[in-house]
């Protein structure tokens, strides 16, 4: 069983880095409605993403208002997508220490199903309190009323992982 202090230390380090990243992002003065800490289906170290109303308007304009989906605008299709945000993986290089801590944990690829599930759950249990710490500190209310911001911890779907590999080439 994973000692509680291990998860707490991982949560504290994740919160420290995410705090700095979100605060730096929020210096642009935009009004944010969506902030997330996300990981892959393999439980790799997290990254942040966010959407502001201003960024959504810019991105929808850039992509064109019409979508291939009847009855939907581009803005409606990308509004809740961490991957489509221009702030996806914002200041990801600052997460190097968190990445190292995640790599020091048991390798999920080498675990049996039950152990894999426990380890993956432990990693999520470090991410959730990290975001709660930031929320309790008022980080998500810096440019807008807190009640207008959706704060999440998410898991990247497997298809997105393939896209990220191809996009990196």
Place of tokens 């393999």: 42
pLDDT in tens, 101-121: 998 888 888 888 899 899 999
CA–CA distance, 146 with 131 (Å, rounded to integer): 13
List the structure tokens of 93: 């290089």
Q: Which pTM does this prediction carry?
A: 0.85
pLDDT in tens, 46-80: 999 999 999 999 999 888 855 566 667 889 889 99
What proportion of the chain, given as a percentage, has pLDDT over 70? 86
Q: Which of 65, 59, 124 is nearest to 87 (CA)?
A: 59
CA–CA distance, 160 with 82 (Å, rounded to integer): 11
Q: Which of 96, 118, 94 is nearest to 106 (CA)?
A: 118
Reduce the DSSP state of residue 45 to 3 states and report it.
coil
């Amino acid at each position: 069983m994973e000692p509680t202090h291990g998860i707490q230390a991982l949560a504290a380090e994740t919160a420290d880095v995410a705090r700095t990243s979100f605060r730096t992002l929020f210096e642009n003065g935009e009004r944010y409605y969506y902030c997330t800490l996300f990981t892959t289906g393999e439980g790799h170290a997290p990254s942040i993403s966010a959407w502001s109303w201003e960024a959504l308007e810019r991105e929808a304009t850039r992509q064109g208002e019409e979508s291939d989906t009847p009855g939907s605008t581009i803005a409606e299709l990308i509004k809740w997508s961490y991957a489509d945000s221009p702030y996806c993986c914002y200041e990801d290089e600052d997460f190097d220490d968190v990445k190292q801590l995640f790599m020091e944990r048991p390798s999920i690829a080498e675990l049996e199903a039950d152990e894999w599930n426990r380890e993956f759950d432990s990693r999520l249990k470090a991410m959730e309190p990290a975001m709660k710490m930031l929320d309790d500190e008022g980080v998500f209310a810096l440019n807008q009323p807190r009640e207008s911001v959706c704060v999440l911890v998410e898991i990247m779907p497997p298809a997105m992982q393939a896209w990220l590999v191809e996009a990196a080439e």
